[in-house]
């Protein structure tokens, strides 16, 4: 049993490596697009940081959070979002056009799990701009925030980042799979996804309704604020990190269930 599972994992990783190699070859044919995409993302994030700076020239702190702490939270939020954007952004195509055009049929003819195939088929290299900005903001603000480091904290950070990423991915899986019934779900995906903008800042600055939505309904707060709060303060790792892990597992399981049900309901479309 264990040997069979190991064999399947090796096969999956080999397929992933092949897809990534082919995608990188395609991207290198259009180097200008690659560079422009990264610069565009960097400029977008710089604009947001300038806005935060302008606000804090008038307000010394926001509900007890200093400008450096808010920038740290903002930078941390870009890391899981950037990883998801880099590796799993092909899910958007399912919601917008792949099912509607009938192009999803190709995945059904391949001896690879459909969800896995969709997720590894492409990478969005311009997401590196998002990742670079997030890492840069974290590094810049580290000397300005009072973080007490320990081995357990470092280990928890290593654990929480992939699970924060999986929250993004699980939400995209669930909302993209709606297209198997409706033929198109891009607008629903976008509506859910844009809620993540609220999670780039401390949730304590919002009213109870917004806090409830981004914490318990569309829980993007656990992709950024709560893990970052633990890093900054060391408070309540069971909630700030443990709940992030739990929510990621639950959302991804829900996403896979919806996806599998959608596959069974799928009917080819297109012209």
> What is the pTM assigned to this prediction?
0.83
d(CA 250, CA 248): 6
DSSP string, 113-180: -HHHHHHHS---TTHHHHHHHHHHHHHHHGGGS-----HHHHHHHHHHHHHHHHHHHHHHHHHHHTHH
Query: What is residue 41's three-state secondary structure?
Result: helix
Element of type H or E holding 245? helix 243-265
- E strands, the chain, are none
d(CA 173, CA 118): 10
User: pLDDT tens across 200-220, in order?
Assistant: 888 988 899 999 999 999 999
User: pLDDT tens across 57-114, in order?
Assistant: 656 666 678 888 988 998 999 999 999 998 899 999 999 989 988 889 989 888 888 9
Query: What is residue 62's three-state secondary structure?
Result: strand
Q: What is the DSSP letter of 37?
A: H
């Amino acid at each position: 049993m264990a040997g069979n599972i190991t064999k399947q994992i090796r096969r999956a990783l080999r397929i992933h490596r092949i897809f990534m190699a082919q995608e990188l070859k395609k991207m290198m044919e259009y180097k200008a697009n690659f560079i422009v995409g990264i610069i565009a993302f960097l400029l977008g994030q710089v604009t947001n940081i300038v806005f935060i700076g302008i606000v804090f020239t008038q307000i010394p702190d926001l509900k007890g959070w200093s400008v450096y702490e808010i920038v740290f939270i903002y930078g941390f939020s870009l890391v899981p979002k950037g990883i998801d954007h880099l590796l799993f952004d092909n899910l958007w195509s399912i919601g917008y056009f792949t099912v509607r055009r009938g192009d999803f049929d190709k995945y059904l003819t391949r001896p690879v799990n459909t969800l896995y195939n969709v997720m590894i088929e492409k990478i969005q290299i311009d997401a590196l701009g998002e990742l670079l900005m997030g890492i840069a903001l974290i590094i810049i603000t580290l000397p300005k925030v009072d973080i007490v480091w320990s081995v357990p904290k470092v280990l928890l950070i290593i654990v929480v980042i992939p699970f924060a990423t999986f929250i993004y991915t699980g939400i995209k899986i669930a909302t993209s799979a709606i297209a198997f019934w409706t033929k198109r779900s891009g607008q629903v995906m976008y509506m859910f996804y844009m809620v993540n903008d609220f999670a780039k800042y401390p949730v304590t600055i919002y009213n109870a309704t917004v806090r409830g939505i981004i914490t318990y309904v569309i829980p993007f707060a656990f992709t950024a604020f709560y893990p970052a709060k633990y890093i900054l303060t060391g408070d309540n790792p069971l909630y700030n990190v443990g709940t992030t892990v739990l929510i990621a597992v639950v959302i991804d399981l829900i996403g896979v269930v919806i996806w599998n049900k959608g596959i069974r309901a799928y009917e080819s479309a297109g012209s």
